[in-house]
Amino acid sequence: MLGLMQDRPLALPHVFHRAEEYFGHKSIVTADATGESRVTVAEWAQRVRRLATVLDTLDVSADGRVGTFAWNTGRHLELYLAAPCTGRVLHTLNIRLFPEQLVYVANHAEDEVVFVDRSLLPLFWPLVDKLETVRHVIVIDDGAEAEIPSDPRVHDYEELLAAATPFEGRFEIADENTAAAMCYTSGTTGNPKGVVYSHRSTVLHSLITLIADGAALSERDVVLPVVPMFHANAWGLPYGCLLAGTDLVLPGPNMTPQAIADLLERHRVTVTGGVPTIWMGMQPLLAQHDLSALRAILCGGSAVPKALSEAYREAIGVPMLHAWGMTETSPIATMCTLRTQHEPLTEAERADVRARQGQAVPLVDLRLVDPATGEPQPWDDVATGEIQAAGPWIAAEYYRGEGGRAQFTDDGWLRTGDVAAVDRYGFLRIVDRTKDLIKSGGEWIGSVDLENEIMSHPKVAEAAVIAIPHPKWVERPLACVVVKPGETLTAEEVIAHLEPRVAKWWLPDAVEFIDEVPKTSVGKFSKKTLREKFGGYQVAAPAAASTTDDGRT
């Protein structure tokens, strides 16, 4: 027996028309080289309607891929809606990809047009002749001085919009499983893999940004997504903001800590989100800014150091709101809002909870399994295993089967590659990537745990721990440490800091001081690069090495 409810698709036209009808008076501010511009949502919606017909004028196929190579701006947000609401597929190109990767993904996705911020032309234009399917390059003039090539493929965004007739009536997407957007993961091995979001997955994921035990986006919020719109739909914030009717502040090309802090203060932003690196950079500026309107700082992309979160709590009263996910999970899979079971805890214990990745949000199912055997592991906060994920916004496969099925289980769950322990309330504590685990004498050492402990040292800016070969224990940890500017630190001090904090056999065999931790194109620690750099590492310091010979039993 079937239900007798209306067959209404979960699709982005609802998000667009809701914003247009109910929130036309709200504002979208974009910062760029020339200052700030502000449009109302009503004005923005009219521009989306023009852009919809521009895509027809440019002869983009009915389900053609529309590339963007752009910062977080109101005009990027126009493309976020105009492309999927007309049946096209938004393909946000990651501006930090290496040139050969960019060429690969644009060709793999068969992008027909690419919308490029003028300030990013110098990165993009040199590749254009290698892009096999791109027929038009539309330049969004953000006031940068980059030269605009004289080329028949090049168009000016504002000129196209000015000449266009606005689309009238309501956008319609009949099948909610239609592709809405795609994003390539910058895998550490092999070619980037395309994740294809559907209208259904995008709308459901957007709803989750509104729930009370989460980001709780409300019409009263002013939201500044620092997380790039070219990365996993900026964690779903732009669509969530339109659904909730928030004001939006978009930072444009200037992503310096100073610029972000100024925007947060000037617009009395209530919710922001970005990777830990952003907030580390902004930390020295907290004292000089009035951030009293802020109520939530979403943080994810890599584990949030407890010390960072605590520094913010102490300085401005707002700790990090830890979220976890990946491109394949749209990306929000867990969030770490405190619960009633945390009420009896001390502030220090709560800080430990906030350093966790949190609990699965509604509609997401997680399981903890032994990565080798697939055996379920207990949720006792001790046993570790790989987190696997299922749900309506979790990837089922990669575009064109790229990379095969290795990332997916036989019963269709995503292997996240993250290793975690889970407490009895389902709160995750990610200890490592399956690829980054250190296996010492048959036992796992969590590199992320070690990194977090090292980063709690007041003189440490960043730290990454990798495995180095060892004749007896097979693998042992090497700590690569970045010291804060103006500070000095020795290997012995690092080890002494760790001794009361971790099991003795976890202590790194050596500490190397580096200038910075190499990052991937989305700002995550690139341990692959470190492993290459320290490939043939020989432990030099006998003092540290000696710690491996005891404490195991």
Q: Which of 435, 439, 504, 533 is catalytic?
A: 439
Q: Please give the size of the binding site for a copy of itself, defined by CB under 8 A.
A: 67
Q: Are 162 and 142 in contact (CB under 8 A)?
A: no
Pick one of 132, 219, 380, 492: the residue that binds a copy of itself (CB under 8 A).
219
Polymer length of the chain: 553
Radius of gyration of the chain (CA): 24
Cross-strand partners of 409: none
Q: What CA–CA distance (Å, rounded) separates 78 from 91?
A: 13
The 10 Å Cβ neighbour count of residue 13 is: 18
Active-site annotation holds for 36: no
Q: Shortest approach of a copy of itself to residue 21 CB, angstroms? A: 6
- Helix 12-22 to helix 199-208 angle (10° resolution) is 50
Provide the pairing of β-strand 154-156 with 193-198.
unpaired
Which of 81, 247, 92, 90 lies closest to 170, judged by CA? Answer: 81
Active-site annotation holds for 328: yes
Binding pattern for the stretch 72-111 against a copy of itself, x by CB under 8 A and - elsewhere: -----------------x----------------------
Pick one of 154, 210, 369, 545: the residue that binds a copy of itself (CB under 8 A).
210
Give the 3-state DSSP-derived string for 8-55, with helices as H, strands as E and coil as C. Answer: CCCCHHHHHHHHHHHCCCCEEEEEECCEEEEEEHHHHHHHHHHHHHHH
Does position 196 bind a copy of itself by CB under 8 A? Answer: yes
Binding pattern for the stretch 140-179 against a copy of itself, x by CB under 8 A and - elsewhere: -----------------------------------x-xxx
Q: Shortest approach of a copy of itself to residue 103 CB, angstroms? A: 21
Q: What CA–CA distance (Å, rounded) separates 233 from 84?
A: 13
Does position 333 bind a copy of itself by CB under 8 A? Answer: no
Q: Shortest approach of a copy of itself to residue 5 CB, angstroms? A: 4
Q: Which of 444, 459, 493, 519 is catalytic?
A: 444
Rounded to the nearest 5°, which phi and psi values hold at 512?
Answer: -115, 135
Residue type, position 32, single letter? D
Pick one of 199, 289, 527, 531: the residue that binds a copy of itself (CB under 8 A).
199
Neighbouring residues of 549: CB distance < 8 A, sequence distance ≥ 6: none
Site for a copy of itself in 381-400 (CB under 8 A): 390-399
Does position 244 bind a copy of itself by CB under 8 A? Answer: yes
DSSP classification of residue 551? S
Does position 224 bind a copy of itself by CB under 8 A? Answer: no
Cα four-point dihedral sign 159, 250, 252, 289: positive
Task: Single out the segment in contact with a copy of itself by CB under 8 A; choices: 21-29, 149-157, 254-262, 475-483.
Answer: 21-29
Rounded to the nearest 5°, which phi and psi values hold at 192?
Answer: -60, 150
Site for a copy of itself in 358-377 (CB under 8 A): 359-360, 362-363, 365
| Distance in angstroms between the alpha carbons of the first and the last residue of the chain | 61
Active-site annotation holds for 444: yes
Q: Which of 20, 78, 176, 328 is catalytic?
A: 328
Q: Which of 68, 185, 277, 334 is catalytic?
A: 185
Question: Hey, is 208 helix, strand or coil?
Answer: helix
Pick one of 147, 151, 165, 220: the residue that binds a copy of itself (CB under 8 A).
220
Q: Shortest approach of a copy of itself to residue 200 CB, angstroms? A: 7
Binding pattern for the stretch 485-524 against a copy of itself, x by CB under 8 A and - elsewhere: ----------------------------------------
Residues in touch with a copy of itself (CB under 8 A):
1-8, 10, 14, 17-18, 21-22, 25, 63, 89, 175, 177-180, 195-201, 203, 207-208, 210-213, 216-220, 243-245, 337, 339-341, 359-360, 362-363, 365, 390-399, 412, 414, 425-426
Task: Give the residue numbers annotated as catalytic, written as ranges.
Answer: 185, 328, 439, 444
